[in-house]
């Protein structure tokens, strides 16, 4: 597995997203043994970058990751996130990146992860009620104390990225980026490269849709988060099946699976990009990790660049309001 640098942090260029093991998607929290086997298989295949968050579960996903990394802590980069849960008394559902909330959040994450340091600690969404300078001031103190080693942002816009980076170097931005979510190409990637900040695409498989395995929303449980996502609703869903079919046609040409092609396309965007495909299944982590060995031709990349655009926003209205654009 090839490695890249996010800022100064060395990671395998394909990571593992663990969110779906305990939250949001159909079948979560049902087979912890398989989830842990999936994490170990990823490590055996050379993945050194695992992604979780306080809010996944909440809490249970960090606990699971903590159990999985126990004997291999020094070999892997553990990334987690704070900010969706308030520990300073704000109303339930409020973002909270106040210094007081971060102080409590980090202690909880360290405990659940069974570690005394977090390699990469991201703010999960920009908090409109706390200046980013205050948030980064608190995070810089945690770096000085050795509790966290690197700082990241998620779905932050370029103005916030610049302001944060002026207080303490930002190691990585984690935002949605995939064949059907191209927003970071407009402005964000340019600014990250100017500042030497790495990029971690989340939902690189389009929440599974780009793999072509989801052909009907009937396949999803009633409480599956994707049922609230406009791209998975009604006519949008039917129209988007065409995008999945286009990816499949190119994958057939490449001699790879659609998931591998979706990942290989992201890898081709630069050596400062490390996607974190999510799965809770051993066979899929094997498939996804093998994308490291796939080289797309210029023509194949051009075809993928020109897929039919997705129908529907990438989040529902409330979710879109939390994304800085």
Read off φ and ψ for residue 154, nearest 5 degrees: -135, 130
Alpha-carbon distance of 61 to 112, in angstroms, equals: 9
**9 forms bridges with which residues in the sheet?**
6
Distance of CA 11 to the CA centre of its chain: 14
Site string for ligand NAP, 162-181 (x = CB under 6 A): ------------x-------
Residue closer to ligand NAP by CB (options 34, 253) is: 34
Residue closer to ligand NAP by CB (options 141, 217) is: 217
Site string for ligand NAP, 231-270 (x = CB under 6 A): ----------------------------x-----------
**201 forms bridges with which residues in the sheet?**
175
Alpha-carbon distance of 306 to 266, in angstroms, equals: 14
As a 3-state breakdown, the chain gives helix, strand, coil percent values, each rounded to 5, of 45, 15, 40
CB of 35 vs ligand NAP, minimal distance in Å:
9
Map residue 11 onto helix, strand or coil.
strand
CB of 204 vs ligand NAP, minimal distance in Å:
5
- Does 153 help bind ligand NAP (rule: CB under 6 A)? no
Residue closer to ligand NAP by CB (options 243, 276) is: 276
Q: Which of residues 11-50 bind ligand NAP (CB under 6 A)?
A: 17-20, 25, 27
Among 80, 203, 311, 314, indicate the residue that binds ligand NAP (CB under 6 A): 203
Alpha-carbon distance of 86 to 271, in angstroms, equals: 35
Residue 25 falls in the annotated catalytic set: no
Burial class (CB in 10 A: 0-12, 13-18, 19+), 269: middle
- Does 205 help bind ligand NAP (rule: CB under 6 A)? yes
Instruction: Give the active site residues.
Output: 56
Footprint on this chain of ligand NAP (rule: CB under 6 A):
17-20, 25, 27, 51, 124, 154, 174, 202-208, 211, 213, 259, 276-281, 284, 287-288
């Amino acid at each position: 597995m090839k490695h890249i640098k996010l800022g100064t942090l060395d990671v395998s260029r394909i990571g593992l997203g663990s969110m779906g093991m305990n939250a949001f998607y159909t079948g979560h929290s049902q087979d912890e043994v398989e989830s842990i086997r999936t994490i170990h298989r990823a490590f055996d295949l050379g993945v050194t970058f695992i992604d979780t968050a306080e809010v996944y579960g909440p809490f249970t996903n960090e606990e699971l990751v903590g159990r999985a990394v126990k004997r291999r802590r020094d070999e892997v980069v553990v990334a987690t996130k704070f900010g969706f849960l308030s520990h300073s008394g704000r109303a339930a559902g409020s973002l909270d990146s106040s210094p007081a909330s971060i102080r409590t959040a980090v202690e909880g994450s360290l405990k659940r992860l069974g570690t005394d340091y977090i390699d990469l600690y991201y703010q999960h969404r920009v908090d409109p009620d706390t200046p980013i300078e205050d948030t980064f001031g608190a995070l810089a103190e945690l770096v000085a104390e050795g509790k966290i080693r690197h700082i990241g942002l998620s779905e932050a816009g370029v103005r916030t990225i610049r302001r944060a980076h002026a207080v303490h170097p930002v190691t990585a931005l984690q935002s949605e980026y995939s064949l059907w979510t191209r927003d970071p190409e407009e402005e964000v990637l340019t600014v990250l490269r100017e500042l030497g900040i790495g990029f971690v695409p989340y939902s690189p498989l389009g929440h599974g849709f780009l793999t072509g395995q989801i052909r009907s929303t009937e396949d999803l449980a009633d409480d599956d988060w994707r049922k609230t996502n406009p791209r998975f609703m009604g006519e949008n869903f039917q129209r988007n099946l065409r995008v999945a079919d286009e990816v499949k046609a190119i994958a057939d040409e490449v001699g790879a699976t659609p998931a591998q092609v979706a990942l290989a396309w992201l890898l081709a965007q630069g050596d400062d990009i490390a996607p974190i495909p999510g799965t809770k299944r051993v066979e899929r982590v094997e498939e996804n990790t093998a994308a490291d060995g796939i080289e797309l031709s210029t023509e194949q990349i051009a075809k993928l660049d020109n897929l039919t655009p997705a129908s529907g926003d990438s989040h529902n209205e409330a979710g879109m309001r939390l994304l800085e654009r």
